[in-house]
């Protein structure tokens, strides 16, 4: 009896040993030559997610946007690292033809942290969310990541428990996520509460400490600190890591004033769609697709155009921040 127990416990111990994890990671994580060279030369690198390509925008806008985001990063002195799952590998840095491939793959999986292992095992194409892009970026030595909006706490989460893995990833992966705030289809207040609980640095790139709401420059909430000085923001990020704090950071960039009028139109449509969803008792997983398609209908394409412009604006700020952070290491 005793010997069979010790046999079981030694098997349990050996199965939980992390010994093979780093070689599996070395095998699966493929970082492009250009990105490796940039890192060696102290040039900034900006990670870009791919769920927006596989699931966020229709073809060919998704492909064109993927390319234009890479161009914006380059024009601002950094090297883009679009991250996606292709043929059983986590690819950091894609060629134009690979970008085209993921943009047209109808079977692409939306890959959050939990979906990494199964999507790789099946060799499926995967668009990485904020959570899994952060995870891969950190393992590839990339500190800055640009996206549109992060996932968060859904309205009604007290019943559905629908809280994005983006928030838990931010608690344990020291990557800075540049975004335009949190879309009002989510519960912005609850999302900021969870970020606080999880110890995430929540910074606003503005002179006013007003947390932005993606299409709208204002929500009723604030971040910890507002600053228009990317060097100061870089110092906070560096100190957070130097102190050994495991969490990442959010840098929320308000919608620029030249997009404000279009943003207001889209935000009004979102509020109307939310009322419709409530009246029609649409709940749970059905809500987000309902809201997004209603808003697209109501704004006749303006929501998509503004979304792309916000993505580009964030990529610009992220490239500038990545350049500052990499200078300090030279």
Q: Annotated catalytic, 328?
A: no
Among candidate residues 49, 70, 169, 267, the one labeled active-site is 49
Identity of the residue, 24 or 286, whose beta carbon is nearer to ligand PSU in the bound complex? 286
How far is it, in rounded angstroms, from Cα 330 to Cα 327? Answer: 5
Binders of Mn ion: how many residues, by CB under 5 A?
1
Of 147 and 313, CB closest to Mn ion: 147
Whether the bond into 141 is cis, omega within 30 of 0: no
Longest Cα–Cα distance in the chain: 75
Residue 204 near residue 222, CB atoms below 8 Å: yes
Q: State the minimum distance, in angstroms, from the CB of residue 122 to Mn ion.
A: 21
Residue 322's binding partner, choosing from Mn ion, ligand PSU, none, with beta-carbon cut-off 5 to 8 A by kind? none
Which among ligand PSU, Mn ion, none contacts residue 39 (Cβ within 5 to 8 A by kind)?
none
Buried b or exposed e, range 18-44, using 16+ CB within 10 angstroms: eeeeeeeeeebeebbeebbebbeeebb
Which residue lies nearer to ligand PSU by CB, 164 or 240? Answer: 164
316 binds, among Mn ion, ligand PSU, none (CB under 5 to 8 A by kind): none
Is residue 89 flagged as an active site residue?
no
- Contact between 162 and Mn ion by CB under 5 A: the answer reads yes
In eight-state DSSP terms, residue 199 is: T
Instruction: Compute the least distance from the CB of residue 209 to ligand PSU, in Å.
Output: 22
For residue 243 the two structure tokens come to 């102190």
Rounded to whole angstroms, what are the CA distances from 229 to 44, 123, 330? 17, 43, 20
Of 50 and 129, the one with the shorter C-beta distance to Mn ion is 129
User: What are 275's two structure tokens?
Assistant: 């009322």
Q: Name the site residues for ligand PSU (rule: CB under 6 A).
A: 49, 51-52, 56, 112, 129-130, 148-149, 151, 164-166, 183, 214
CB of 49 to Mn ion, least distance (A): 16
Closer CB to ligand PSU, residue 238 or residue 288?
288
d(CA 47, CA 175): 10
Contact criterion met (CB below 8 Å) for 125 and 113 = no
Task: Catalytic residue, from 70, 169, 183, 267: name it.
Answer: 183
Residue 146 interacting entry, from ligand PSU, Mn ion, none, C-beta within 5 to 8 Å by type: none
CA dist., res. 285 & res. 236, Å (int): 37
How many Cβ atoms from other residues are within 10 Å of residue 105's Cβ? 18
103 binds, among ligand PSU, Mn ion, none (CB under 5 to 8 A by kind): none
Residues catalogued as catalytic? 49, 183
């Amino acid at each position: 009896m005793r010997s069979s127990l010790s046999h079981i416990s030694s098997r349990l111990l050996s199965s939980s040993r992390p010994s093979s994890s780093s070689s599996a990671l070395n095998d699966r994580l493929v970082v492009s030559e250009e990105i490796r060279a940039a890192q060696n030369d102290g040039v900034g690198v900006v990670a870009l997610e791919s769920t927006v390509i596989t699931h966020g925008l229709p073809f060919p806008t998704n492909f064109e946007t993927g390319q234009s985001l890479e161009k914006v990063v380059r024009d601002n002195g950094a090297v883009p690292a679009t991250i996606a799952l292709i043929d059983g590998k986590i690819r950091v840095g894609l060629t134009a033809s690979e970008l085209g491939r993921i943009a047209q793959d109808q079977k692409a999986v939306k890959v959050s942290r939990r979906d990494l292992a199964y999507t790789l095992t099946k060799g499926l194409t995967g668009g990485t969310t904020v959570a899994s892009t952060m995870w891969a970026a950190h393992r590839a030595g990339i500190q800055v990541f640009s996206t549109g909006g992060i996932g968060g706490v859904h309205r009604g989460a007290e019943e559905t428990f629908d809280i994005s893995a983006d928030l838990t990833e931010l608690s344990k992966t020291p990557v800075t996520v540049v975004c335009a705030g949190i879309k009002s289809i989510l519960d912005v207040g609850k999302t900021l509460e969870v970020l606080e609980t999880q110890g995430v640095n929540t910074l606003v790139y503005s002179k006013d400490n007003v947390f932005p709401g993606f299409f709208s420059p204002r929500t009723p909430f604030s971040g910890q600190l507002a600053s228009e000085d990317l060097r100061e923001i870089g110092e906070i990020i560096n100190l957070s890591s130097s102190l050994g704090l495991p969490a990442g950071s959010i840098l929320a960039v308000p919608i620029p004033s030249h997009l404000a009028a279009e943003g207001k139109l889209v935000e009004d449509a979102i509020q109307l769609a939310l009322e419709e969803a409530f009246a029609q008792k649409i709940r749970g997983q059905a809500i987000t697709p309902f809201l997004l398609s209603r808003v697209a209908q109501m704004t006749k394409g303006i929501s998509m155009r503004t979304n792309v412009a916000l993505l580009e604006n964030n990529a610009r700020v992220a490239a500038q921040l990545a350049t500052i952070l990499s200078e300090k290491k030279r």
